[in-house]
Amino acid sequence: MESVGNLILYFVVALVIIVCSVLTVTTRQILRSATYLLFVLFATAVIYFQMDYAFLGAVQIAVYAGGIVVLFVFAILLTHQPGKDAQRIESSRRILGAVAALLGVAVCGYGLFSYANFCHRQLAEVSDMSIETIGHWLLSTEKFGYLLPFEAVSVLLLACIIGGVVIARRR
Amino acid sequence: MPLSYTIAVIAIPLLMFFFLGLAGVKMDKKLTGVLGVIGMLITTVIAYGVALTYFFGSDQGQVADGVRQAVVVFNPDWLSFTKTLVVRMGIMLDPIAAMMLIVITTVSLMVHLYSLGYMCDHHGHAEKGFQRYYAFLALFTFSMLGLVVATNLFQIFIFFEMVGLSSYLLIGFYYQSPAAVHASKKAFIVTRLADLFFLLGIMILSYYTGTFDFDQLVFGPNGANSLEVAQSAIATGGGATFLGCSVMAWALTFIFIGGAGKSAMYPLHIWLPDAMEGPTPVSALIHAATMVVAGVFLVARLFPLYVIEQGAMEIICVVGAFTAFYAAAIACVQSDIKRALAFSTVSQIAFMMTSLAVSSADGGLIEIHGGHGLGFMASMFHLFTHAMFKALLFLCAGAIIHAVHSNENSKMHGLHKYMPITSIAFLIGCLAIAGIPPFAGFWSKDEILVACYAKGTGWGIWMSMVAGMTAFYMFRIYFLIFHWKKHEVHTEHAPSDQPWTMTLPLIILATISIVAGFVPAHDLVTWDGKELHTQLNWTVAGSSVLIACIGIGLAFKMYYKENELPDKLQARFSGLWEAAYRRFYMDELYQFITHKVIFQGICKPIAKFDRGIIDGFFNLLASVTGSAAYGIRRLQNGSIQSYVYVYLVGALALAVITMVCVLI
Amino acid sequence: MEIFSNILIYFVIVPVLTLAGLALCSNKGIKAIRTVAVAGASVLVALAIYLVYLFLQARGAGDTSEMILRTDVTWFAPFNIKLALGVDGISVVMILLSAFIVFAGVFASWKMNPLPKQFFLWFYLLSTGVFGFFISIDLFTMFMFYEVALIPMYLLIGVWGSGSKNYSAMKLTLMLMGGSAFLMLGLIGIYFHSAADGNLTMNVLEIAHNDAIPHQWQLWLFPLTFIGFGVLGAMFPFHTWSPDGHASAPTAVSMLHAGVLMKLGGYGCFRIAIYLMPFAANELAWIFLTLTGVSIVYGAFSACVQTDLKYINAYSSVSHCGMVLFAILMFNTTAMTGAVLQMLSHGLMTALFFALIGMIYGRTHTRDIRDMGGMMTIMPYLGVGYVVAGLASLGLPGLSGFAAEMTIFFGSFEHSDMFHRVLTIAATCSIVITAVYILRVVGKLLFGAVQNEHHRELTDASWEERLSTATLMLSVAAIGCFPNFFVNIISDSFLPVVKALGAMI
Amino acid sequence: MNLTLLMYLVPSLVMFGCGVYGFLTRKNMIAIMISLELMLNSVDINFVVFNRYLFPGQMDGMFFTLFAIAIAAAETALALAIIINVFRVARKVDINELTKLKF
């Protein structure tokens, strides 16, 4: 039996996620869209905290909410004149997109509700979720160690930095 | 003089060609001409030395048992088809080759000298392309000499092509004139067509006999023409036949066609009159004296083979006799002096051909062994004399043309007073060709007629008649040019005899034309290398002189003084006259065949077929592929959203299928 | 390394080094580019002449092995692919031909514009392929070098060409690639039947020696390989790339393509199709003989009515290259020797033709003979060159075409059956048709009155153009005057194949 | 009432659906990127909750999410750089109008 606070928190988060997701893709002002995205990301971070993944939640807030959304905002401001709405999307296109998205949701949802018995598991206790453990596994070369992907991602980031510089540089 | 010096005779003109052609461009024009003449003079001296040594010297091993042998001085391999079938490039002297050396070098030297004057304008400045002209003359001389000393049939073919080339280049010397270009092209292509047959003939002959060499085809062990060797060569055909004739007959007929092309036999004569577009000395050298007798020379070379293969010989005989008459008939009405002379040449060469052809039949095979073969000797003799007097006539014509700047009779008339030397030289030439004793033509033509009568009286009468026509048309030309009426001087300079460079050759050739008949040809150029005992046949000689006189008399009556008779006759027989003037429409026929049938009927459709059908097929293939690709391209429209959409639909479909499967 | 002691490998190394040298040149340094290009070509010519010397020496010393200068280096063991080098008389003369044409081609593209460096880069890449093809006797490397030679053609025409160059480049490349597809199938088939005992090999000599390709397979593989190479050899009806391709290609490329690349077709037909599959060659010869016989006459007739100089030449090439394949299919030493002579002759003469056409076009900016006339007065050197090339083409004694064609005709005539006879006579007739179209173009282009007064101001050949064409003219004359020298090099190389073919009858 | 796995998956699913919808319908490239982020985020949630509920002793899901975030950051940065660059050249961010490189 969950604590009530946890439950309430869950519902608030779920509501924020659902509503803000929908708003993100339906609003005609792109800056707003980015802002709704920010709310969704925060809500996601809350889920991570709920799951006891504090570090992940922190990363989510720092990188996603703090970094990426800011990038988006910059990009939007660079490419858009403020106050100018996006063009209305043709209804046929909207309907097609909606149908596809709803169908997808329906199929997946049907699958979830009808087959997935594992979906009704309870949350188990986790013993150790400290930063030391995470750091240990992240830099470990043993079995289940994540050093190689870690390095790969660092190289990727480097490449990305260089790429960003090259692309954005004025000729 | 050692016979091996013949190499020099061949080599000097070739070197002159390269020297004048390459270095001559930078040199003074006149100098190149003088160099050309000097080179030719040296060649001539050596050629005379060699030929006289061959005929009269005794220490060169060329005479054995009273038989003049063929001497091969030089014979390296040039191209090996197989181990045994090898083309060699050699030098061989036998009576006819030695005689040809003299003919070619003499006429060539005269023409070289004459051109010094002829190829200049009235102020004595050399024409454009002077050195080119001399280079080509040297090339021609080289080719022609190479042809006559050939040791094998293939070498003759090679030099056939080479003389064809030099002829092409010289006819087209004035390459800026369309007529000259057209004429040179025509000459080359017609002779090429004939050479194709020549080649086929060689192919057949060599396939069966396995050799090109004359010493295996026609020369016997004693080095002279031998019927036994020819017989065995023919026999290698093994009786193989094609369309009812033996393959050897086909081969020899084809080879004759090759010769007929060069020698302008009907119906391959059409190029020769047009070839007169070239400079007149060139016409004298190539198209009167030397190259055009290459065909006669070729048949004479293979004489024993033709003797054995009588069928081919009959064809030559008929073609020769017909051409002689046909060309003479046309020559009677031509108004262009060079054209008339050209047809005269055709007619005279046909005389030689006929003479060769009747030779084998004058009494049959056995009697040839007994010492006949008169026709062969007569033909070669006529070749020799004709070369001299026809060259003379052409050079005279050149002098006249140079003086009045026209080829047409109507622009000449009454020139005797202005150009006495030319007039006399021309008259000597006319008398020689008409066969009036003691001029050269009489002796040789008389023997030809004797040979013809020996084959059959009909042949003899026919040829006598042609001889009469010869006398008529030659004197017609002579009277029209030098008499007829007073000359109207159009230009500021009255026509006159030309400078000494041009007059000297006329005098020399006129002298030769007078005395050449006394050359003892029957001792020197016989088919089997033995002496041939002949004597004047008084009946034939008398009648032919009589016929010639009638011809001359007729010409005198019609053309000596201006009168109405020729016009009346022309009006009376206008159809015939027109046909003869238009050369019996042979050119039109060829024009039709080449342009309408081959060009429009074959080439154009083939080209269209290629572009339309064949290329069209590949283009169709390409465009089908292309449009298929365009169709498929719609799917790859580059819009990421449509990709995602399609992807999503696919993924959902898969999900649904999976679920349905699980359900079931 | 063992392989570097074999002179043959240098025929590939030298062009590659030249490529490297060119790559180091700056784009603007036209002098440096020319120097490197000329140096590369000169070394190739010297090497080729030395190779002929080596060959003659080896044969003179009594070395009767089928191929000399053999070296094998394993390249990819699982498929037994080797870098197998070796030459016989045919490859030797082909290498000589290629070297001369590359040499002349460099000078013909002296003033190449734009992008001279890139042009020479592709040019030498093409040369690398050509030489590589002639020195290898391994199916794989042969095919590889063949492709290396084909591909640069696309860019060379597409970038430096004229007229409808995109179309032509595409057409040429696609058709030749289509041929390669056939060829590749054939080669793979040959490989998998190359030995009866399972030791599959790519080496041409070993395959011929094993003689293990089953007859029913030969009947499939022979047409594949023959057509594959035949497309490049401009065999009717796969010749249509040739007129368009040549018309659009820049001068040196036309030279190299007609002069050398088309020879790859003939050489390949012989070396792979006939040599490895004598049974099928005997069985199916009649089909290809008919096609090539048609090629000869058809090409000649088509050339008669063309008005574009390059089209005339391209159709003339169809005719002459048809003669090559025709002679190869005659299966006797004489005709086959004639075929190689014809390859040499056609290579040099067509290269000369294209060089001259390029030079004339560079001055007049037209190739239509109706717009030109009297060129002999304006540019006598080029005019004389054109006449020489024309005479070589129509088979005048003393120039290369004559010796080649005569050898072919006499070789072909050795067959006494009616089928061969008729074809031979038809082929022989082409000498007249050739004369017609050559004289037609010479008459219209060079002789007559000057058609266009602007042409009077044009200049004659410059020194590098003279050098380029003189090289070719002298080569043409050398073959024409001393054919036996070449015949002696070539003819013995046909003995093994003629023997194998004879065993089939 | 317990917070089951399912309860976390539902918002995630909705978020993903919204992402898909946005991705399919938006014309603005930045908006498309935003939709993409939504989808990525929903996947991240799934990783985390599956890890947490089904394999509590392990951390693979978490690490995957961690890396996914890093990669998303990189990808976004690069994509936005490209978009800005394209905008500089073409003065457009509408993907339907940016057809110069098509075909």
Q: For C156-201, write each residue's pLDDT tens digit.
A: 888 888 888 888 888 888 888 889 999 999 999 988 888 888 788 8
Residue D3 lies in a domain: no
Q: What percent of chain B has pLDDT over 90?
A: 8
What average pLDDT does the structure give for chain B? 83
DSSP C114: S
Q: Which domain holds residue A42?
A: 1-88
Confidence (pLDDT) at B489: 65
pLDDT of B365 above 60: no
Domain enclosing residue D78, as ranges:
9-90
Average pLDDT for C441-461? 82
Predicted confidence at residue C504, as pLDDT, reads 67
A149 in reach of chain D (CB within 8 A) = yes
The whole-angstrom distance between D30's CA and the closest CA on chain B is 14
Distance from CA of A83 to the nearest CA of D (A): 15
pLDDT in tens, C276-303: 888 888 888 889 999 999 889 988 998 8
Largest CA distance in chain B: 131
- Mean pLDDT throughout B590-598? 82
Residue where a domain stops, chosen among A71, A88, A105: A88
B161, B172, B599: residue with CB nearest C397: B161
* pLDDT at site B356: 85
Work out the pLDDT band at B607, boundaries 50, 70, 90. confident
Residues A20 and A71 in one domain: yes
Say whether pLDDT at B565 is over 70: yes
What are the tens digits of pLDDT across the range B22-38? 887 788 888 888 888 99
pLDDT at B362 over 70: no
- A140 occurs within a structural domain: yes
Q: State what percent of residues in chain C have pLDDT above 90.
A: 20
The minimum CA-CA distance between B606 and chain A, rounded to whole Å, is 58
Domain total for chain A? 2
pLDDT digits (tens, 9 = 90+) for A46-63: 999 888 888 889 999 998
User: Which residue of A lies nearest to B659 if distances are taken between CA atoms?
Assistant: A111
Whether the CB of B649 is below 8 Å from some CB of chain A: the reply is yes
Q: Does residue C98 surpass a pLDDT of 50?
A: yes
Asked if B652 and A104 come within 8 Å (Cβ–Cβ), the reply is yes
Mean pLDDT of B429-458: 84
- Write out pLDDT tens, residues B69-122: 888 888 888 888 888 888 888 888 888 888 899 999 999 998 988 888 888 776
A101·D1 Cβ contact <8 A: no
In the predicted model, is pLDDT for residue B368 greater than 60? Answer: no
**A153 belongs to a structural domain:** yes
Q: What is the mean pLDDT of chain C?
A: 87
CB-CB neighbors (< 8 A) of D56 in chain A: 124-126
* CA C256 from centre of chain: 8
DSSP string, B97-162: HHHHHHHHHHHHHHHHHHHHHHTB-TTSPBPTTHHHHHHHHHHHHHHHHHHHT-SBHHHHHHHHHH
Residue B461 has pLDDT above 60, yes or no: yes
Nearest to B439 by CA among B551, B340, B518: B518
pLDDT higher than threshold 90 for residue B405: no
The answer to whether residue A40 sits within a structural domain is yes
Q: Is A61 on the interface with D (CB under 8 A)?
A: no
pLDDT in tens, B143-163: 999 999 988 889 999 999 999
Can you say whether residue C109 is alpha, beta or left, with left for phi > 0 and alpha for psi between -120 and 50 degrees?
alpha
> Does the residue A107 lie in any domain?
no
What ipTM did this prediction achieve?
A: 0.76
Say if residue A3 is in the same domain as residue A71. Answer: yes
pLDDT score of C78: 83
Is D2 close to A2, i.e. CB distance below 8 A?
yes
Of the candidates B166, B641, A125, B128, the one whose C-alpha atom is nearest the C-alpha of residue D32 is B641
- Please give the tally of structural domains in chain C: 1
pLDDT value at position B644? Answer: 87
Q: What is the mean predicted confidence (pLDDT) over C312-316? A: 90
pLDDT of residue A50: 86
Q: Do D73 and A56 touch (CB under 8 A)?
A: no
Are A108 and B655 an interchain contact pair (Cβ–Cβ within 8 Å)? yes
Residues C202, C211: Cα–Cα separation, whole Å: 13
User: Residue A85 has what pLDDT?
Assistant: 63
Domain at D72, CATH number: 1.10.287.3510
What is the C-alpha to C-alpha distance for residues B79 and B89, in angstroms, rounded to an integer?
9
How high is the pLDDT of residue B366? 39
Three-class secondary structure of residue C203 per DSSP: strand
Chain B nearest-CA residue for A104: B652
Residues of D engaging B, defined by a Cβ cutoff of 8 Å: 20, 23-24, 32, 95-96, 99, 101-103
pLDDT confidence band for C43 (50 / 70 / 90): very high
Chain D CB within 8 Å of residue B638 CB:
yes
Interface of A with B (CB under 8 A): 96, 100, 103-104, 107-108, 110-111, 115
Q: What is the mean pLDDT of residues C93-108?
A: 90
B624 at A interface, C-beta within 8 A: no
Average pLDDT, integer, range B314-341: 87
Digit-coded pLDDT (tens) for C50-78:
999 998 888 888 877 888 888 888 888 88
pLDDT exceeds cutoff 80 at C431: yes
Give the CA radius of gyration of chain C.
Answer: 22
CATH of the domain at A30: 1.20.120.1200
Q: Supply the pLDDT for residue A42.
A: 93
Percent of chain C past pLDDT 70, that is, above it, reads 99
Asked if residue A70 and residue A16 are part of one domain, the reply reads: yes
Residue B435: alpha-carbon gap to chain centroid: 24
What digits encode the pLDDT tens for the residues B175-221?
A: 888 888 888 888 898 889 999 999 999 988 888 888 888 888 888 77
**Gyration radius from chain A CA atoms:** 21
Phi then psi dihedrals of residue B76, to 5 deg = -80, 155
Kindly determine whether residue B176 and residue C306, on different chains, have CB atoms separated by under 8 Å.
no
Residue A156 maps to a domain: yes
Average pLDDT over residues C226-245: 87
Distances in Å between the Cα of B441 and the Cα atoms of B163, B396, B438, B541 are: 26, 17, 8, 12
Least confident window among A96-100, B373-377, C11-15, C246-250: B373-377
Distance from CA of B632 to the nearest CA of A (A): 23
Residue C114 has pLDDT above 90, yes or no: no
Number of domains chain D is built from: 1
Cα dihedral angle (B155, B161, B164, B165), rounded to 10 degrees?
-120
Any CB–CB contact under 8 A between A6 and chain D?
yes
Interchain pair B648, A110: CB under 8 A: no
Say if residue A131 is in the same domain as residue A79: no
Mean pLDDT check: name the lowest of A37-41, A51-55, A118-122, B542-546: A118-122
Containing structural domain, residue C404: 2-504
- In this prediction, residues B647-660 reach a mean pLDDT of 88
How many cross-chain Cβ pairs, A to B, lie less than 8 Å apart?
Answer: 18
Chain C residues near residue B178 by CB distance under 8 angstroms = 448-449
Report the pLDDT value the prediction gives residue B492, as an integer from 0 to 100.
61
Instruction: Enumerate residues 6+ apart whose C-beta is below 8 A from B356.
Output: B296, B299, B300, B303, B306, B316, B320, B375, B376, B379
Residue B268: phi and psi, rounded to 5, are -100, 20
pLDDT in tens, B231-245: 777 777 777 777 777
* Residues in chain B closer than 8 A to A103 (CB atoms): 652
* Interface probe with A: pick from D1, D69, D71, D96, most Cβ of A within 10 Å: D69
Rounded average pLDDT over B632-661: 85
Instruction: Give residue B500's pLDDT.
Output: 81
pTM of the predicted protein model: 0.83
Percent of chain D with pLDDT over 70: 96
Q: B177 to chain C: which residues are within 8 Å by CB?
A: 448
Same domain flag for A84 and A148:
no
In which residue are the tokens 């003084």 written? B561
Give the mutation candidate from B643, B648, B660, B664 for the A interface (greatest A CB count, under 10 A).
Answer: B648
pLDDT of residue C128: 92
Task: Identify any residues that bridge with B72 across adjacent strands, giving them in sequence order.
Answer: B92
Ordered DSSP codes for A109-126:
HHHHHHH-GGGGPPPPP-
Residue D80 falls inside a structural domain: yes
The sign of the dihedral angle between the CA atoms of C57, C60, C61, C63 is: positive
- What pLDDT is stored for residue C489 in this prediction? 87
Question: Which chain A residue has its CA at the smallest distance from B656's CA?
Answer: A107
Q: Among residues B354, B322, B349, B357, which one has the least CA distance to residue B586?
A: B322
The confidence score (pLDDT) of residue B370 equals 37
Phi-psi region of B622 (alpha: psi -120 to 50; beta: other; left: phi over 0): alpha
pLDDT classification of B364: cutoffs 50, 70, 90:
very low
Q: Is the pLDDT of residue B567 over 60?
A: yes
> Nearest residue on chain A to D35, judged by CA atoms?
A25
> Are B656 and A100 a contacting pair at CB < 8 A?
no
